[in-house]
Amino acid sequence: MEIQAEHCKTNWLDLYYQWKEGRIAKEEYVIRKEELTKQEAESRQKLEFLEQQMAENVLVQNSLEETLGMVALLDAEGLTKELVDELIERIDVYGDDRVEVKWKFSIQDLK
């Protein structure tokens, strides 16, 4: 769509030179220029729509990936490296037999 819009601009410029050089009449120039302007606007409008669709698709894909990740966690049996990497940011071990786990999420995230 972007290429089509740029192509319209190029054609319009070529059309302008044809009119200036006297190869086409002013009436034909005006009619064809309006057609090219309309085509360019339609291409840009389609491009904008496609970009919005792509952005929405990315959001849906991210949501699905997150959901599938949660499903995999729910199905997990035991502690695996993948599960640790997904859930735990870091584990601090202290000399007084104390261990602190820093999670990658909070309880509010799960609500």
- pLDDT at 22 (0 to 100): 92
Query: 21 lies in which domain range?
Result: 2-110
Rounded to an integer, what distance in angstroms lies between the CA atom of residue 56 and that of residue 50?
Answer: 10
The structural domain count of the chain equals 1
Distance in angstroms (rounded) separating the CA atoms of residues 9 and 14: 9
CA dihedral 97, 103, 108, 111 (to 10 degrees): -110
Per-residue pLDDT of the chain (111 residues; tens, 9 = 90+): 788 888 888 888 899 889 999 999 999 999 999 999 999 999 989 999 989 998 888 888 877 677 666 666 666 677 778 778 878 889 999 988 899 989 887 766 555
pTM summary value: 0.48
Q: pLDDT at position 65, please?
A: 72
What sign results for the dihedral spanned by CA atoms 13, 14, 15, 16?
A: positive
For residue 12, the model assigns a pLDDT of: 86
